[in-house]
Structure 1
Amino acid sequence: MKNQDQSSWVRTQDKGSTRSRDRDAPKSPAALVGPTGPRDNLPVFLFPTELLFFSQQSSSHRRVLTFYNPYSFPLRFKMLCTAPSLYTVVDAEGSVRARSCVDIVVRHQDVSSRNWGRRDRFRLEVWGGGQGGSREIWAELRGGQEGDRSQGTHQRRAASPRRSVPALPEGYWNHDGGRNASLFALYVVISLVCLAFLMLPLHNESSTLVPTVMHVTVMQKLVCAYVLGLLTMVFLR
């Protein structure tokens, strides 16, 4: 991905944002980070890990990305896309306070059949505390509705390779078609634990509210972020 042609990354259309924008700023991802620090040395926590839109399901035309800032300093961010004409993004650029999160709403603007199976990429560029980082995710438009396995299988075969979405564990659905309440509750508890870990300070940060023994490492946060992303995909399905 690092060999991606920089010119293909363009700002997303920012609809309904209350944050200020510099329309004359360069569109290159390198220019967005600025001189505050090197690029891609700051882990970025963005969920879910992919966006799926379904042409015949209007509720899926709007997806929400959650950007977590587990650090002790605020972060600024800007969303880029390889096909900005197909999407509008609410609050495509702005800032998030330390140990907080912000929701970024993405809307698909053209769900006609000519775009079925099309896969685009979003990149979130962030910077703060003298460091910078980025995170890329896939966005795909599928025909039909969510849960239509026949069309989903056909389009996945035609699409380029990507990360597979984890299948629901066996037993997640009971014989009556309802959710297994105890297993669902377990997923919720694990999600809350992971979210709590993401909000804890790092081991090299000082905090008057959290004891030193409860400070965590970047690797522990990455593991929790990965697990939370998988569970998010399970909940969305």
Structure 2
Amino acid sequence: MRRRQSHDGRGEEGGRVEVEEGVPVGGAPQLAVAPQLAVFLFPSEMAFYAEQRSTHRRVLTLYNPYTFSLSFKMWCTAPSLYRVVEAEGSVRAKSCVDLVVRHLDVSPRNWGRRDRFRMEVRGGGQVGRREIWAELKGGREEEEQRGGQQRAPPPLTALSPLLVPTHTRLVSQWVVCVAVAMLCVTVLMLPLHTDSSSVVPRWLHVSTNQKLVCAYTLGLITMVFLQ
């Protein structure tokens, strides 16, 4: 999740379910009072296109225009199909935070599927929530824009908390990737075993195959960083 604090700072299916204010939907927690806070979450709908890789990742921006900090939590009707890093957190006053939503299964069996997300916020002794839709479509975004077709939302289904990796686990994964990348760079800088004029000790010389393996591994890690 990319945090974008405003100037100073830090930084995922069944029958029809009727929704009423103050009544929990599925596994969602019951609110003690009717929502009072306006939730500023944009855009209002997400569309993923199976044949366009760049659209498998969408960004939701949660704004906090209030003078107090907000805690937030994202819920979804299909948490196993989406990944939102840090789907639960906080945003400081007069700041905003970006949540990267990635679709995990764009196979044809999910084309046309619409899922519901709910953002719940708390702060200043008040609560608020807002719901948006996400849809996986076949084809590409340009084709959809030319067609100009829209679908009606399906019946509401139960919400569940998003299953996301914790912040600690995410940091650990990045540390491992950085360490492996540094090791590969080091090996690539070592002389070949056929080089007899190097001042580097003989036991540190490497073979051509070892360098090729390190170069391939470094390329894979670079792709991970760029995603």
Which segments of 5 or more consecutive residues in structure 2 lack a partner in the other structure? Answer: 1-17, 156-227
1:201-222 superposed Cα distances (whole Å, 9 cap, x missing partner): xxxxxxxxxxxxxxxxxxxxxx
Give 3-state SS (helix, strand or coil) of 1:78's partner.
strand
Query: Quick one: distance in 2 between partners of 1:125 and 1:146?
Result: 29
Give 3-state SS (helix, strand or coil) of 2:68's partner.
coil
Q: What does residue 94 of structure 1 align with? A: 89
Q: What does residue 61 of structure 2 align with? A: 66
Q: What does residue 184 of structure 1 align with? A: none
Q: Is the 8 A contact 2:114 2:154 kept in 1?
A: no
CA 1:30–1:142: 2 relative to 1, 3 Å: same
Give 3-state SS (helix, strand or coil) of 1:148's partner.
helix
Which segments of 5 or more consecutive residues in structure 1 lack a partner in the other structure? Answer: 9-26, 163-237
Amino acid at match of 1:28: A
Runs of 4+ in 1 over 6 A off after TM superposition: none
CA 1:161–1:121: 2 relative to 1, 3 Å: closer
Q: What does residue 42 of structure 2 align with? A: 47
CA 1:140–1:114: 2 relative to 1, 3 Å: same
Aligned length, in residue pairs: 137
Taking the TM superposition and a 5 Å limit, the aligned residue runs for 1:165-204 are none
Give 3-state SS (helix, strand or coil) of 2:142's partner.
coil
Deviation at 1:113, TM superposition (A): 0.8
- For the pair 1:2 / 2:19, whether they are aligned, the reply is yes
TM-score by length of 2: 0.55
Q: What does residue 153 of structure 2 align with? A: 160
Q: What does residue 111 of structure 1 align with? A: 106
TM-score by length of 1: 0.53
Query: Quick one: distance in 2 between partners of 1:136 and 1:7?
Result: 12
1:9-37 superposed Cα distances (whole Å, 9 cap, x missing partner): xxxxxxxxxxxxxxxxxx53326xxx6xx
Q: Percent identity?
A: 61
Query: Quick one: distance in 1 between partners of 2:57 and 2:132?
Result: 16
Amino acid at match of 2:100: V
Q: What does residue 30 of structure 2 align with? A: 30
Larger Rg: 2
CA 1:118–1:152: 2 relative to 1, 3 Å: farther
Deviation at 1:3, TM superposition (A): 3.6
Deviation at 1:141, TM superposition (A): 0.5
Deviation at 1:147, TM superposition (A): 1.2
Deviation at 1:161, TM superposition (A): 7.2
Query: Quick one: distance in 1 between partners of 2:87 and 2:148?
Result: 32
- For the pair 1:142 / 2:137, whether they are aligned, the reply is yes
Deviation at 1:91, TM superposition (A): 1.4
1:19-58 superposed Cα distances (whole Å, 9 cap, x missing partner): xxxxxxxx53326xxx6xx341110000001000000111
1:102-161 superposed Cα distances (whole Å, 9 cap, x missing partner): 00111101101111111110000000100000000000010011111389556x35x437
Deviation at 1:90, TM superposition (A): 1.2
Q: What does residue 75 of structure 2 align with? A: 80
Query: Quick one: distance in 2 between partners of 1:87 and 1:72?
Result: 32
1:51-86 superposed Cα distances (whole Å, 9 cap, x missing partner): 000001111000000000000000000000011111
Q: Is the 8 A contact 1:29 1:125 kept in 2?
A: no
Deviation at 1:99, TM superposition (A): 0.4
Query: Quick one: distance in 1 between partners of 2:82 and 2:146?
Result: 23
